[in-house]
Amino acid sequence: MKKYIAALFMAMMAVTSCIYDDPEQEFELKPGDSIPKFTVLMADGTSMTSAQLIEGAALIMFFHTGCPDCQNTIPSVQKIYDKYKEEVKVILISREQAYEEVQPYWQEKGYTLPYSPQQDRVIYNLFATSRVPRVYVCKDGKVTSCYKDDPIPTYEDLLSDIQAIL
């Protein structure tokens, strides 16, 4: 019975992390918008600021490891990072997940992507108020393309977006 309840709880968490949160309160950055000012502590202990992302190409993704759409998107972002890590600044920011939740998932999947574990929605709410994943491709601090969970971006989508701004 405990396994059933645990499985049900995990399924509910996965669904709620990817669904539309509040139709009355939706806000999101769109192409042409400037990225907001922020500072986050990265999992490796360094800091990342929006100022570090405003020169050149950048990819910012908000995620939750329990979200199936995020689980399907992160591998595409990993491929972009592997191919362009010298030319594109890539940062992933968790939505309401602490380091202790994200790190085991990163290790299990073998991800090398730089990420910032955030236990709240403070940074996320600067970009959007509902839905993950959120992926923003940016050039010189301006959003050039963005994706959410419907549809999620493919590797080819992200590759095309990145190539267009390099």
Q: What is the pLDDT along the chain (166 residues), one digit of tens a residue?
A: 544 444 444 444 444 445 444 444 567 899 999 999 999 999 999 999 999 999 999 999 999 999 999 999 999 999 999 999 999 999 999 999 999 999 999 999 999 999 999 999 999 999 999 999 999 999 999 999 999 988 999 999 999 999 999 9
Which residues are bridge partners to 116 per DSSP?
Answer: 93
Find, among 40, 31, 137, the residue nearest to 90 by Cα: 137
Burial (CB count <10 Å: 0-12, 13-18, 19+), residue 159: middle
CA gap 149, 3 in Å, rounded: 29
* Structural domains of the chain, with CATH: 2-165 (3.40.30.10)
Q: What per-residue confidence (pLDDT) applies to 27? A: 76
Q: Looking at the whole model, is its pTM more than 0.95? A: no
**Residue 83 exposure: Cα atoms within 13 Å on the Cβ side:** 15
CA gap 94, 141 in Å, rounded: 20
Instruction: Supply 8's token pair.
Output: 């049900």
Q: What per-residue confidence (pLDDT) applies to 103? A: 98
